Amino acid sequence: MPEAPLVLAASTAPPKRRRAAAPALVIFGMAWLMLMLAVAVLADVIAPYAYTALDLRNRLSPPILFGGTWIHPLGTDELGRDVLSRLIYSIRTSLLIAFGATIIGAAVGTSLGFLAAHFRGLVEQAVLALVDFSASLPFLILALAVLAFFGNSLGLLVCLLGLHAWERYARIARGLALAAGAQGYAAAVRGLGASPWRIYGRHVLPNIASTLIVSMTLAFPEVILLESGLSFLGLGVQPPETSLGSMVGYGREYLTRAPWILLTPASVIVLTTLSVSLIGDWLRDGLDPTLR
Amino acid sequence: MKPGGALLEAEGLVRRYAMRRGIMGRAVEVRAVDGVSLKLERGRTLGLVGESGCGKSTTGRLVLGMETPDAGRVSFEGATMPQPGSAAWRKLRARMQMVFQDPLGALDRRLPIATQVAEPLDIHNIGAVSERAARVEALLRAVGLRPDQGALYPHELSGGQRQRAVLARALATDPALLVCDEPISALDVSIQAQVMNLLLDLQEQFGTSMLFVSHDLRAVRQVSHRVAVMYLGRIVEEGEPDAVLHDPAHPYTRALVSAIPHPGRMGQRMVLQGDPPNPADRPSGCAFHPRCPVANSLCAREAPVLKPRADGRLIACHVAHGEVAAGHGFTGQEAA
Amino acid sequence: MLRFIASRLARAALTIAMVVTFAFIVLRLSGDPAQIIMGADAPPEAVDAFRTAWGLDEPIWVQYFSYFWAILQGDLGRSMRDGRDAIVLVTERIPATLALTLPALAIKICLGIPAGIYAALHRNSLADRVVMIIAVAGFTVPSFVLGLLLVLLFAVQLGWLPSGGQESWRHGILPVITLGLGGAAVLARFTRSAMLEVLGQPFIRTASAKGVPWHAVVTGHALPNAAIPTVTIIGFMVGSLIAGAVVVESVFSWPGVGRLLVVAVANRDLAVVQCILLLVAITMVCANLIVDLLYGLLDPRLRAAPGKAA
C-alpha cells in the first residue's frame, strides 16, 4: 500500500492486537457478572446474617486482612452489622434496580421509537421533542427534581432510573424501523397485509434486538452509577433497605476509623460497572459496528 | 379465471412529494407521477418502462394502494382502493402482491424461508393450520425450489433462489394481481432469463395479472401483453410490445430501443443529449423536449396529450401525431 | 446562516418551554401547589392569598399561562425553609460552584483532549493503553468513590489537604481534582474515538498519499474534523457548570448549588428545586445553542445547508 507508514499503522494494524487482548478481560467481566448474579439470586442462602442483624459486641470490627476474625469476614459497621451480609443484600438491591430500570428504559424507548416511525407526522415530532428535552437536562438533576416532588419509594426509583436512557433506544428503534420500512422486509410484510403488531413484534423487533441489547449493556453500568450516586446522597434507596451506593454513603462517616465499610461496596460498584462496560464494548465491536 | 375484463383501472394518478432544502427551506414540489392512467386486464401483463426516476415504481405502489395518490383514483375488481393501513386494505393484500427488486431486503433474514412463505396464510388465516405445511411445499415446488430449502435462511440462498422465495410468498394467497418492480435487475444475467420464464409459467398456471415495472425494454417485451413507456411521471407511448419495439413512435421510445445492443445494427444508436431528467425541475411543454432530436418550438410551449394514432397506438408527441413538422431539437443550447 | 440561527433559537426556546411545562405538570401532580410552596404549617389565609395571587382557583390552562408568566418575570417562589426568594438563594451559591467547576473544566480540556489525541495518533502504544485504562477507570469509578479515595489518601493518611469545607483555596483542590479527573477521562476516551474515526476516513489517506506531511494532515485535516463531535461533549460540560458538581459538593461539604439542591430535595423545598431545575435547563440549552453555532463555524457544509445539521 502506498500510504504513509503512520496511516498504515493507524488503520490496519490495530484490530488483530486488540482482539487478542480483549477476551481475557471480557471473560473476567463475564465471570464477575455471573458471580454477582449468583450472589443476588442466592442472597438469602449465602448471607451469613440478616442485613439488619446487630452484633453489638463486635462493632467496627475489621475484616480478616486487617486483623479481624472469621465471625465477620469483611468486618462490621458502627452497629455491629455484618458487612459481608449487607454487601450481599446490597448487590441484590442494586442489580435488581439496575435490571428493572434498564428493561423499563428499553421498553419505553423502543415503543416510542416504533410509534414515531409508524405514525410519523405529529407523533414523531412529539417524540423527537421529548428526546430533545431529555437530552437537554443532566439526568441526575431531573431525577433529583422528581424525587423532591414525589418523595421516595423503590418503585418510583426504578421507574425514574428507567427513563435514564430511553431516548437512546427511541432514536435507535425509530431509525432502524424507518430503514426497515423504507425499502426492506418491513415494507414487504406490510404489503402482505400484516398488522402493525405483527410487523413490529414479529419482524422489526427481532431484527433490531442485537442492537438494542448492545445499547442495554452500555446503559446498564450508567444506571448502576446513577442509583449508587442517588443512594450515596441519601436520596435513592432508603434504610432499612440497603444498596451499594447507600453503603458507601453510610460508610463515609467512618472513613477514618473503619474504611472497609466504604471500600468493599465501592470496589464492587467499580468492578461491576467495569465488567459490564467491557462486555458492552466487546459486544458492540463484535455485533454492531454501527453504534458508537 | 379466464383472461379479459378489467381487473385494475387507474385514472389520472398524481403523486407529489415535497422536497425540502434544509429544515426551514422552502419546500419544492416534485411530481413523481403526473397524470398516469392505465388499465390491466385479467390474466394479462402490462409492462411499464422508463429510466430511473421516471415515476414507474411510484406508479406501481400507487396501483397497489401502498401509497395514496394526490389526485386520480385506482379501482381494483370494480371497487375503489381503501385507505392504506385500514382493515379493508389489509384484507385486500391477499388479492394483490408485490415482488421487489432486492429479494434479500424483502425477506426477513431471521426467519426460515418456509415460515416466510407461510406468513401470508397466517396473516389472512387461509386454510387449516395443519394444511399450511403442504401448501408451502407446493408453492416452493411451483417456483422451482426444493421443499427442503424451506428450512434455509435467506442468506443461505442464491439471489435467484431468493427471488423465487419472494415469488412463492407473493403467490401464497393466490393473488389476482402481481406488481413486479424491477424483479430481475438485481440478479445475474444468467439467472434473469430463468426468473422471466418462471414468471411466464406462473402466469399461465395461476392466471395472475401482472404489472411489470422495469427499465429494460427487452425484458418487458418478453413478458408483457402491452407496454407503456414513462418519461418524467407521464406515459409517453403505449401499445403492443412487438409493435412498439419494432416501430417506436415517440422519440424517447426510439432512443430507448436504439440503446438495446443489437448485433446487426451497429452505428445507428441514437444517443440522448442533454441532462438526465430531474423531476424537481420539469421542463416546460413536452418534458422531453430539451433532449429530443426532433423537437420544435411548439414542443417547448405546449405539453402533448396521450392520444391514439390511427393504428390504435397511444402516443404523446406533437411530431409523431403530425401536428408539427420535425424540428432540430434544443440539444446543445439552453432549454427554454 | 441567519435562518440557521433562527431555527436553533426556536428549538432552544421550545426546550425551555418544555422544562417549564414539565415543572408545572410535576408540581400539579405532586399535590396542592399552594400548600407545598407555602409549606404545611403556613397560615390558611396566607395559603388562600397565595392561591388567589397565583390564580389557583382559575381553570388549569389559565394557571399554566400565569405560571409561565410568573417564571418569565423571574418569580420562582420562596424557599420553604427560610422564606427567602428561591432565586436569590440559588444565585448566591453559584460563585462557590463555579469556583469548583471552572478550574475542573480547564483540567478536563487541558488533560483530556491532548491525551485523547496522543492516544489516537499512537494507537496501541503503551501510552495509548495507559490512557485508555485510565479513561475506562474514569468512567467506571463513580465520582463519590474517587473523591472519598482522594480524601482517604491526601487528607486522612498523608494529612496534606483538608477533607471538606470551603475555608481556603486549599479546600478546593481535592474537589477540583475529583471533578477534573473524571471528566478528563470521559473527554480523552471521546476524543480518541473521534480522532480514530477521522483518521480512518478516505480523505485522510488521500491527503497523506498526496504527500502532505503527516503533521500537516493531522493539524489541517484530522483535528478540525475530530473537533466537531468533541465540541458536543464540551458543550455538555459547559452546560453542567452550575449543577455538574452535585455529588462532589456533597462529598466535600462544599456549599454550592449542588449541595443546596441535595438539601432542598431531602427537605422537599420545592421552590428551590424548581428554580435550580430551570436554571440548569437554561444553562444547558444556552450551551447547546453555542455548540450548534460553533458547528456552523467548524463545518462549512452546515452553513450552506442547515438541513443536514438535524
**CATH number of the domain that residue C171 is part of:** 1.10.3720.10
What is the rounded distance in angstroms from the CA atom of residue A158 to the CA atom of residue C115? 37
Concatenating the DSSP letter of every residue in B235-278 gives EEEEE-HHHHHHS--SHHHHHHHHTS--TT-TT---PPPSPPP-
Q: pLDDT tens for residues C249-291? A: 888 888 888 888 888 888 777 778 888 888 888 888 888 888 8
Partner residue facing B105 (CB), from A185, A192, A193: A185
How many CB contacts within 8 angstroms connect chain B with chain C?
20
C15 and C83, same structural domain? yes
Q: Is C197 a domain residue? A: yes
C57 domain residue, yes or no: yes
Chain B CB contacts of C307 under 8 Å are 20-23, 25
The residue among C39, C58, C89 that closes a domain is C89
CB-count exposure of residue B278 (10 Å: 0-12, 13-18, 19+): exposed
What is the ipTM, given to two decimal places? 0.81
Burial class (CB in 10 A: 0-12, 13-18, 19+), A157: buried
> What is the number of domains present in chain C?
2
Could you tell me which chains touch chain C, where touching means 3 or more CB pairs under 8 A?
A, B
Q: Report how far apart, in Å, the C-alpha atoms of B46 and of each of A222, B13, B50, B244 are.
A: 58, 17, 13, 13
Number of H helices, E strands in chain B: 11, 12
Give the position of cell 446503559.
A219
My answer on whether C124 and C223 are in the same domain is: yes
Q: Each residue's pLDDT tens digit in chain B (336 positions)?
A: 444 568 899 999 999 887 765 544 566 778 888 889 999 999 899 999 988 878 888 999 999 988 889 999 999 988 889 988 889 999 999 999 999 888 888 898 888 999 999 999 999 988 888 889 999 999 999 898 999 999 999 888 988 899 999 999 999 999 999 999 988 887 888 888 888 888 898 898 888 999 999 988 888 888 899 999 999 889 999 999 989 888 898 989 988 888 877 666 555 566 676 666 777 778 888 888 888 888 888 888 888 888 898 888 999 988 888 888 777 777 544 443
pLDDT value at position A239? 79
> How many contacts (CB atoms, under 8 Å) link A and B?
53
| Contact at CB, C140 and A138, closer than 8 angstroms | no
Assess whether C153 and C251 both reside in one domain: yes
Nearest residue on chain A to B179, alpha-carbon basis: A191
Query: How far off is chain B from C305, nearest CA to CA, in Å?
Result: 6
- What is the average pLDDT value for chain A, to the nearest integer? 80
Give, to the nearest 10 degrees, the angle between helix A260-287 and helix A83-119: 30
C-alpha distance from residue A200 to each of A16, A30, B9, C41 (Å): 37, 31, 32, 53
Q: Which three cell numbers stand for residue B172?
A: 401464497
Do C22 and C164 reside in the same domain of the chain?
Answer: no
- Are the CB atoms for C249 and C97 separated by under 8 Å? yes
Longest Cα–Cα distance of chain B, Å, equals 69
Q: What is the pLDDT of residue A144?
A: 85
Q: How far is CA B183 from CA B164, B194, C138, C169, in A?
A: 10, 12, 54, 75
Q: To the nearest whole percent, how much of chain A has pLDDT over 90?
A: 9
Note whether residue C307 is domain-resident: no
Does the residue C228 lie in any domain? yes
**Closest alpha carbon to C301 in C233, C228, C218, C203:** C228
Q: Do C15 and A136 touch (CB under 8 A)?
A: yes
The boundaries of the domain holding residue C47 are 2-89
**How close does chain A come to C246, measured CA to CA in Å?**
8
Across the range C36-61, mean pLDDT stands at: 71
- Per-residue pLDDT of C147-186, as tens digits, reads 888 888 888 778 787 777 777 777 888 888 888 888 888 8
Query: Residue C276 domain-assigned?
Result: no
H or E element, residue C65: helix C60-72
Say if residue C56 is in the same domain as residue C152: no
Residue B75 region by backbone torsions, left for phi larger than 0, else alpha for psi between -120 and 50, else beta: beta
**Same domain for C130 and C18:** no
| Contact (CB<8Å) B22/C6 | no
Q: Is residue C84 part of a domain?
A: yes
In Å, how far is A152's CA from the nearest CA of chain B? 42
Picking from C129, C154, C277, C291 by the largest number of A CB atoms within 10 A of its own CB, the best residue to mutate is C277
- Residues of A within 8 A of B110 (CB-CB) are 206-207
Do residue C76 and residue C101 come from a single domain? Answer: no
CB contact under 8 A, A191 and B120: no
Among C40, C66, C89, residue at a domain's last position: C89
C123 in the same domain as C46: no
- Name the domain boundary from C211, C227, C255: C255
Same domain, C79 and C185: no
The count of other CB atoms within 10 Å of the CB of residue B252 is: 26
Domain for residue C209, yes or no? Answer: yes
C108 and C250 inside one domain? yes
pLDDT of A143 strictly over 70: yes
Q: Is residue A114's pLDDT more than 50?
A: yes
pLDDT at B237: 92
C-alpha grid cell for residue A189? 410484510
Q: Could you tell me if C58 and C200 lie in one domain?
A: no
pLDDT of residue B48: 93
| Residue C280 resides in a domain | no
Whether C80 and C111 share a structural domain? no
Q: At what angle do helices C60-72 and C2-29 cross, to 10 degrees?
A: 120
Distance CA A221, CA A227 (A): 10
Residue of A nearest to B88 (CA): A193
